[in-house]
A and B are shown apart, each in its own frame.
Chain A
Amino acid sequence: MSLPPFQRLVDKHAAELHRFLVGCVGPDLAEDCLQDTLIAALRAYPRLRHADNLRAWLYTIAHRKATDSVRLRARRPRTVQLDGIGPSVEPRTAAAEIPDDGLWAAVRELPAKQREAVVHRYVLDLDYRQIAERMGTSSEAARQNVSAGLRRLRIEVDR
Protein backbone atom coordinates (compact mmCIF):
# COMPACT_ATOMS: atom_id res chain seq x y z
CA MET A 1 0.00 0.00 0.00
CA SER A 2 1.30 3.44 -0.73
CA LEU A 3 -0.38 6.80 -0.41
CA PRO A 4 0.24 9.38 -3.13
CA PRO A 5 1.88 12.68 -2.14
CA PHE A 6 -0.83 14.82 -0.55
CA GLN A 7 -0.22 17.62 -3.05
CA ARG A 8 -1.58 15.36 -5.79
CA LEU A 9 -4.92 15.11 -3.95
CA VAL A 10 -5.02 18.89 -3.70
CA ASP A 11 -4.26 19.34 -7.40
CA LYS A 12 -6.83 16.76 -8.41
CA HIS A 13 -9.73 17.53 -6.09
CA ALA A 14 -9.52 21.09 -4.69
CA ALA A 15 -11.53 22.77 -7.47
CA GLU A 16 -14.40 20.31 -7.30
CA LEU A 17 -14.38 20.22 -3.49
CA HIS A 18 -14.67 23.99 -3.60
CA ARG A 19 -17.73 23.84 -5.87
CA PHE A 20 -19.26 21.28 -3.54
CA LEU A 21 -18.65 23.58 -0.58
CA VAL A 22 -20.02 26.64 -2.40
CA GLY A 23 -23.24 24.66 -2.80
CA CYS A 24 -23.25 23.54 0.83
CA VAL A 25 -22.15 26.67 2.72
CA GLY A 26 -22.28 29.49 0.18
CA PRO A 27 -19.60 31.41 -1.71
CA ASP A 28 -18.26 33.41 1.25
CA LEU A 29 -17.35 30.55 3.52
CA ALA A 30 -16.46 27.97 0.88
CA GLU A 31 -12.77 28.73 0.60
CA ASP A 32 -12.20 28.74 4.37
CA CYS A 33 -14.14 25.52 4.57
CA LEU A 34 -11.95 24.07 1.82
CA GLN A 35 -8.82 24.94 3.81
CA ASP A 36 -10.31 23.40 6.96
CA THR A 37 -11.10 20.27 4.96
CA LEU A 38 -7.60 20.01 3.50
CA ILE A 39 -5.88 20.59 6.85
CA ALA A 40 -8.06 17.98 8.58
CA ALA A 41 -7.32 15.53 5.75
CA LEU A 42 -3.59 16.26 5.88
CA ARG A 43 -3.57 15.67 9.63
CA ALA A 44 -5.22 12.25 9.32
CA TYR A 45 -3.55 11.25 6.04
CA PRO A 46 -0.56 9.16 7.24
CA ARG A 47 -2.89 7.03 9.38
CA LEU A 48 -4.99 5.90 6.40
CA ARG A 49 -4.73 2.17 5.92
CA HIS A 50 -5.26 2.13 2.17
CA ALA A 51 -5.39 4.45 -0.81
CA ASP A 52 -8.75 3.20 -2.13
CA ASN A 53 -11.28 5.86 -2.85
CA LEU A 54 -9.41 8.84 -1.45
CA ARG A 55 -11.97 11.07 -3.11
CA ALA A 56 -14.86 9.66 -1.06
CA TRP A 57 -12.71 10.11 2.04
CA LEU A 58 -12.12 13.78 1.18
CA TYR A 59 -15.86 14.36 0.63
CA THR A 60 -16.66 12.79 3.99
CA ILE A 61 -14.38 15.36 5.62
CA ALA A 62 -15.71 18.22 3.47
CA HIS A 63 -19.27 17.26 4.36
CA ARG A 64 -18.39 17.31 8.06
CA LYS A 65 -16.74 20.72 7.77
CA ALA A 66 -19.71 22.05 5.81
CA THR A 67 -22.13 20.77 8.43
CA ASP A 68 -20.09 22.38 11.22
CA SER A 69 -20.01 25.65 9.34
CA VAL A 70 -23.77 25.66 8.65
CA ARG A 71 -24.52 24.84 12.32
CA LEU A 72 -22.23 27.58 13.49
CA ARG A 73 -23.99 30.07 11.29
CA ALA A 74 -27.43 28.90 12.41
CA ARG A 75 -26.43 29.53 16.01
CA ARG A 76 -25.26 33.04 15.27
CA PRO A 77 -27.97 35.52 16.33
CA ARG A 78 -29.62 37.46 13.53
CA THR A 79 -30.09 40.58 15.58
CA VAL A 80 -28.47 41.59 18.79
CA GLN A 81 -30.85 43.58 20.95
CA LEU A 82 -29.10 45.61 23.58
CA ASP A 83 -32.11 46.53 25.66
CA GLY A 84 -32.08 50.14 26.66
CA ILE A 85 -28.39 50.44 26.02
CA GLY A 86 -28.45 51.47 22.43
CA PRO A 87 -29.87 50.74 18.99
CA SER A 88 -30.14 47.16 17.77
CA VAL A 89 -27.09 46.04 15.83
CA GLU A 90 -27.55 44.24 12.54
CA PRO A 91 -24.95 41.52 11.98
CA ARG A 92 -22.89 41.88 8.83
CA THR A 93 -24.62 40.39 5.81
CA ALA A 94 -22.29 38.99 3.20
CA ALA A 95 -22.88 40.64 -0.14
CA ALA A 96 -22.76 37.37 -2.05
CA GLU A 97 -25.73 36.03 -0.10
CA ILE A 98 -28.11 38.65 -1.36
CA PRO A 99 -28.64 37.67 -5.01
CA ASP A 100 -29.37 33.98 -4.37
CA ASP A 101 -32.97 34.93 -3.55
CA GLY A 102 -33.59 32.47 -0.80
CA LEU A 103 -32.87 29.29 -2.73
CA TRP A 104 -29.35 28.79 -1.43
CA ALA A 105 -30.33 29.80 2.07
CA ALA A 106 -32.97 27.06 1.84
CA VAL A 107 -30.33 24.58 0.59
CA ARG A 108 -28.28 25.33 3.67
CA GLU A 109 -31.25 24.64 5.87
CA LEU A 110 -31.81 21.16 4.45
CA PRO A 111 -30.92 18.18 6.64
CA ALA A 112 -27.22 17.47 6.10
CA LYS A 113 -27.63 14.33 3.96
CA GLN A 114 -30.21 15.90 1.68
CA ARG A 115 -28.08 19.00 1.29
CA GLU A 116 -25.05 16.96 0.37
CA ALA A 117 -26.98 14.79 -2.08
CA VAL A 118 -28.66 17.77 -3.77
CA VAL A 119 -25.33 19.60 -4.17
CA HIS A 120 -23.66 16.49 -5.61
CA ARG A 121 -26.57 15.96 -8.00
CA TYR A 122 -27.01 19.50 -9.33
CA VAL A 123 -23.91 21.59 -8.60
CA LEU A 124 -21.49 18.79 -9.51
CA ASP A 125 -23.85 17.10 -11.99
CA LEU A 126 -23.25 13.58 -10.65
CA ASP A 127 -25.52 10.58 -11.18
CA TYR A 128 -26.94 8.56 -8.29
CA ARG A 129 -24.31 5.85 -8.51
CA GLN A 130 -21.52 8.45 -8.19
CA ILE A 131 -23.30 10.22 -5.34
CA ALA A 132 -23.74 6.88 -3.55
CA GLU A 133 -20.04 6.16 -3.92
CA ARG A 134 -19.08 9.49 -2.41
CA MET A 135 -21.60 9.39 0.41
CA GLY A 136 -21.05 5.73 1.21
CA THR A 137 -24.72 4.83 0.70
CA SER A 138 -26.74 2.86 -1.85
CA SER A 139 -27.82 4.46 -5.12
CA GLU A 140 -31.41 4.19 -3.94
CA ALA A 141 -30.63 6.12 -0.74
CA ALA A 142 -28.86 8.77 -2.83
CA ARG A 143 -31.92 9.10 -5.05
CA GLN A 144 -34.22 9.37 -2.05
CA ASN A 145 -32.06 12.05 -0.43
CA VAL A 146 -32.05 14.08 -3.63
CA SER A 147 -35.81 13.88 -4.14
CA ALA A 148 -36.60 14.55 -0.47
CA GLY A 149 -34.29 17.58 -0.64
CA LEU A 150 -35.96 18.82 -3.82
CA ARG A 151 -39.43 18.44 -2.29
CA ARG A 152 -38.44 20.58 0.67
CA LEU A 153 -36.78 23.18 -1.52
CA ARG A 154 -39.87 23.45 -3.69
CA ILE A 155 -41.98 24.19 -0.61
CA GLU A 156 -39.48 26.77 0.63
CA VAL A 157 -39.06 28.50 -2.71
CA ASP A 158 -42.78 28.53 -3.61
CA ARG A 159 -43.68 30.10 -0.31
Chain B
Amino acid sequence: MFIKLQDGVKKYGQGDAQVYAMDKVRLDIDKGEICVILGPSGSGKSTLLNMLGGIDSMDSGVLLVDGRKVSGFSLKELTEYRRTDVGFVFQFYNLIQDLTVIENIQVVSDIAPNPLPIDSVLDSLGLRTLVHRFPTELSGGQQQRTAIARAIIKNPKLLLCDELTGALDSRASKEVLQYIEKVNETLGMTILIITHNAAISKIADRVIQIRDGKVVSNEKNNAKVRAEDLVL
Protein backbone atom coordinates (compact mmCIF):
# COMPACT_ATOMS: atom_id res chain seq x y z
CA MET B 1 0.00 0.00 0.00
CA PHE B 2 1.26 3.48 -0.90
CA ILE B 3 -0.76 5.20 1.82
CA LYS B 4 -1.75 3.42 4.99
CA LEU B 5 -3.61 5.21 7.76
CA GLN B 6 -4.35 3.29 10.93
CA ASP B 7 -6.77 4.59 13.55
CA GLY B 8 -6.16 8.23 12.85
CA VAL B 9 -7.72 10.50 15.47
CA LYS B 10 -7.98 14.31 15.46
CA LYS B 11 -9.99 16.12 18.15
CA TYR B 12 -10.87 19.78 18.58
CA GLY B 13 -12.11 21.45 21.73
CA GLN B 14 -12.52 20.02 25.22
CA GLY B 15 -15.15 18.47 27.44
CA ASP B 16 -18.72 18.69 26.13
CA ALA B 17 -17.55 20.86 23.23
CA GLN B 18 -15.06 18.28 22.01
CA VAL B 19 -15.47 17.27 18.39
CA TYR B 20 -13.82 14.37 16.57
CA ALA B 21 -12.79 15.65 13.15
CA MET B 22 -11.22 12.22 12.55
CA ASP B 23 -12.48 9.29 14.58
CA LYS B 24 -10.24 6.24 14.23
CA VAL B 25 -9.96 6.60 10.48
CA ARG B 26 -8.44 3.71 8.56
CA LEU B 27 -7.66 3.76 4.89
CA ASP B 28 -5.38 2.17 2.33
CA ILE B 29 -4.57 3.67 -1.05
CA ASP B 30 -2.49 2.08 -3.80
CA LYS B 31 0.27 3.83 -5.68
CA GLY B 32 -0.84 5.59 -8.84
CA GLU B 33 -4.53 5.58 -7.94
CA ILE B 34 -6.91 8.46 -8.35
CA CYS B 35 -8.81 8.35 -5.10
CA VAL B 36 -11.87 10.50 -4.40
CA ILE B 37 -12.76 11.13 -0.79
CA LEU B 38 -16.45 11.99 -0.69
CA GLY B 39 -18.35 13.53 2.16
CA PRO B 40 -20.63 16.42 3.12
CA SER B 41 -19.40 19.69 4.71
CA GLY B 42 -17.97 19.12 8.17
CA SER B 43 -17.40 15.42 7.60
CA GLY B 44 -13.64 15.68 8.18
CA LYS B 45 -12.43 15.55 4.57
CA SER B 46 -10.18 18.61 4.84
CA THR B 47 -8.83 17.42 8.18
CA LEU B 48 -7.89 14.11 6.58
CA LEU B 49 -6.24 15.94 3.69
CA ASN B 50 -4.25 18.09 6.11
CA MET B 51 -2.96 14.99 7.91
CA LEU B 52 -1.99 13.24 4.69
CA GLY B 53 -0.25 16.38 3.46
CA GLY B 54 1.70 17.00 6.66
CA ILE B 55 -0.01 20.34 7.24
CA ASP B 56 -1.50 19.22 10.52
CA SER B 57 -0.77 16.41 12.96
CA MET B 58 -2.99 13.70 14.37
CA ASP B 59 -3.63 13.23 18.04
CA SER B 60 -3.11 9.50 17.63
CA GLY B 61 -2.78 6.89 14.89
CA VAL B 62 -0.16 5.87 12.38
CA LEU B 63 0.25 7.26 8.88
CA LEU B 64 2.59 5.54 6.45
CA VAL B 65 3.27 7.08 3.05
CA ASP B 66 5.46 5.12 0.68
CA GLY B 67 6.76 3.12 3.61
CA ARG B 68 7.70 6.17 5.71
CA LYS B 69 6.04 6.89 9.05
CA VAL B 70 4.85 10.42 8.40
CA SER B 71 2.92 10.53 11.67
CA GLY B 72 6.22 10.37 13.56
CA PHE B 73 7.92 13.17 11.63
CA SER B 74 9.34 16.23 13.36
CA LEU B 75 8.37 19.70 12.10
CA LYS B 76 11.54 19.85 10.07
CA GLU B 77 10.87 16.44 8.51
CA LEU B 78 7.29 17.45 7.72
CA THR B 79 8.60 20.54 5.90
CA GLU B 80 10.90 18.35 3.84
CA TYR B 81 8.03 15.93 3.21
CA ARG B 82 5.83 18.72 1.84
CA ARG B 83 8.77 20.16 -0.09
CA THR B 84 9.54 17.01 -2.03
CA ASP B 85 6.75 14.44 -1.82
CA VAL B 86 3.44 16.30 -1.71
CA GLY B 87 1.67 18.67 -4.08
CA PHE B 88 -1.44 20.64 -3.09
CA VAL B 89 -4.27 22.09 -5.10
CA PHE B 90 -6.89 24.12 -3.27
CA GLN B 91 -10.43 25.18 -3.98
CA PHE B 92 -9.56 28.87 -4.21
CA TYR B 93 -6.18 28.25 -5.89
CA ASN B 94 -4.12 30.16 -3.25
CA LEU B 95 -1.85 31.63 -5.87
CA ILE B 96 0.46 34.47 -4.84
CA GLN B 97 -1.26 37.53 -6.29
CA ASP B 98 1.95 39.54 -6.75
CA LEU B 99 3.48 36.87 -9.02
CA THR B 100 2.65 35.87 -12.59
CA VAL B 101 1.72 32.35 -13.72
CA ILE B 102 5.28 31.34 -14.44
CA GLU B 103 6.57 32.96 -11.25
CA ASN B 104 4.01 31.10 -9.16
CA ILE B 105 5.32 27.87 -10.66
CA GLN B 106 8.93 28.96 -10.09
CA VAL B 107 8.12 29.42 -6.37
CA VAL B 108 8.01 25.61 -6.18
CA SER B 109 10.47 24.64 -8.92
CA ASP B 110 13.11 26.79 -7.24
CA ILE B 111 13.17 24.66 -4.09
CA ALA B 112 12.36 21.27 -5.58
CA PRO B 113 15.35 18.88 -5.77
CA ASN B 114 14.29 17.36 -9.11
CA PRO B 115 11.66 19.53 -10.75
CA LEU B 116 10.02 18.64 -14.02
CA PRO B 117 10.94 20.79 -17.06
CA ILE B 118 8.85 23.90 -16.69
CA ASP B 119 8.15 24.16 -20.43
CA SER B 120 6.61 20.70 -20.58
CA VAL B 121 4.43 21.44 -17.57
CA LEU B 122 3.25 24.69 -19.12
CA ASP B 123 2.47 22.95 -22.40
CA SER B 124 0.72 20.00 -20.83
CA LEU B 125 -1.60 22.35 -18.90
CA GLY B 126 -2.13 24.78 -21.78
CA LEU B 127 -0.52 27.71 -19.93
CA ARG B 128 2.11 28.72 -22.48
CA THR B 129 0.26 31.86 -23.62
CA LEU B 130 -0.59 32.91 -20.08
CA VAL B 131 2.86 32.85 -18.47
CA HIS B 132 3.18 36.60 -17.84
CA ARG B 133 -0.33 37.14 -16.55
CA PHE B 134 -1.18 37.79 -12.92
CA PRO B 135 -3.83 35.66 -11.18
CA THR B 136 -6.33 38.52 -11.27
CA GLU B 137 -6.10 38.47 -15.06
CA LEU B 138 -7.04 34.78 -15.29
CA SER B 139 -10.32 32.92 -15.26
CA GLY B 140 -11.07 30.42 -12.50
CA GLY B 141 -10.12 27.49 -14.68
CA GLN B 142 -6.86 29.11 -15.75
CA GLN B 143 -5.98 29.85 -12.14
CA GLN B 144 -6.68 26.28 -11.12
CA ARG B 145 -4.51 24.98 -13.97
CA THR B 146 -1.76 27.26 -12.71
CA ALA B 147 -2.25 25.83 -9.24
CA ILE B 148 -2.01 22.32 -10.66
CA ALA B 149 1.17 23.23 -12.54
CA ARG B 150 2.63 24.62 -9.36
CA ALA B 151 1.71 21.46 -7.51
CA ILE B 152 3.15 18.99 -10.02
CA ILE B 153 6.30 20.86 -11.06
CA LYS B 154 8.17 19.21 -8.19
CA ASN B 155 7.05 15.77 -9.46
CA PRO B 156 5.57 14.78 -6.10
CA LYS B 157 4.63 11.26 -5.18
CA LEU B 158 1.28 12.44 -3.89
CA LEU B 159 -1.05 15.12 -5.23
CA LEU B 160 -3.74 16.31 -2.82
CA CYS B 161 -6.67 18.25 -4.25
CA ASP B 162 -9.09 20.00 -1.92
CA GLU B 163 -12.39 20.72 -3.72
CA LEU B 164 -10.44 21.60 -6.81
CA THR B 165 -13.57 22.22 -8.87
CA GLY B 166 -15.51 23.89 -6.03
CA ALA B 167 -15.08 27.38 -7.44
CA LEU B 168 -15.47 26.48 -11.13
CA ASP B 169 -18.35 26.16 -13.52
CA SER B 170 -19.06 22.77 -15.09
CA ARG B 171 -17.07 23.41 -18.25
CA ALA B 172 -14.01 24.59 -16.37
CA SER B 173 -14.42 21.74 -13.89
CA LYS B 174 -14.37 19.15 -16.65
CA GLU B 175 -11.33 20.77 -18.19
CA VAL B 176 -9.45 20.71 -14.88
CA LEU B 177 -10.38 17.10 -14.23
CA GLN B 178 -9.09 16.16 -17.66
CA TYR B 179 -5.75 17.66 -16.76
CA ILE B 180 -5.73 15.75 -13.49
CA GLU B 181 -6.32 12.54 -15.43
CA LYS B 182 -3.50 13.43 -17.80
CA VAL B 183 -1.13 14.07 -14.90
CA ASN B 184 -2.03 10.72 -13.38
CA GLU B 185 -1.51 8.87 -16.65
CA THR B 186 1.71 10.54 -17.73
CA LEU B 187 3.46 10.87 -14.37
CA GLY B 188 1.91 7.99 -12.44
CA MET B 189 1.18 10.28 -9.51
CA THR B 190 -1.12 9.11 -6.72
CA ILE B 191 -3.92 11.65 -6.60
CA LEU B 192 -6.42 12.27 -3.81
CA ILE B 193 -9.38 14.49 -4.52
CA ILE B 194 -11.69 15.50 -1.71
CA THR B 195 -15.10 16.73 -2.73
CA HIS B 196 -18.74 16.77 -1.77
CA ASN B 197 -19.72 16.36 -5.45
CA ALA B 198 -20.47 12.69 -6.03
CA ALA B 199 -20.36 13.17 -9.82
CA ILE B 200 -16.60 13.65 -9.69
CA SER B 201 -16.10 10.29 -7.99
CA LYS B 202 -16.77 8.56 -11.32
CA ILE B 203 -13.27 9.33 -12.57
CA ALA B 204 -11.69 7.74 -9.50
CA ASP B 205 -10.04 4.36 -9.16
CA ARG B 206 -11.12 4.27 -5.52
CA VAL B 207 -13.90 6.09 -3.68
CA ILE B 208 -13.76 6.61 0.07
CA GLN B 209 -16.86 7.95 1.79
CA ILE B 210 -16.42 9.82 5.03
CA ARG B 211 -19.06 11.05 7.45
CA ASP B 212 -18.73 12.61 10.92
CA GLY B 213 -15.03 11.86 10.96
CA LYS B 214 -15.45 8.20 10.18
CA VAL B 215 -14.81 6.26 6.98
CA VAL B 216 -18.09 4.67 6.05
CA SER B 217 -16.88 2.94 2.87
CA ASN B 218 -13.67 2.37 0.93
CA GLU B 219 -14.41 0.74 -2.45
CA LYS B 220 -12.68 0.34 -5.78
CA ASN B 221 -14.61 2.00 -8.58
CA ASN B 222 -15.41 -0.57 -11.19
CA ALA B 223 -17.37 1.86 -13.36
CA LYS B 224 -14.63 4.41 -13.94
CA VAL B 225 -15.31 6.96 -16.68
CA ARG B 226 -13.12 9.52 -18.44
CA ALA B 227 -13.35 13.07 -17.27
CA GLU B 228 -14.48 14.22 -20.71
CA ASP B 229 -17.54 11.97 -20.34
CA LEU B 230 -18.55 13.30 -16.95
CA VAL B 231 -21.89 15.04 -16.51
CA LEU B 232 -21.42 17.79 -13.94
Query: Do A and B originate from a single complex?
Result: no
Query: Which positions in B face A, CB cutoff 8 Å?
Result: none
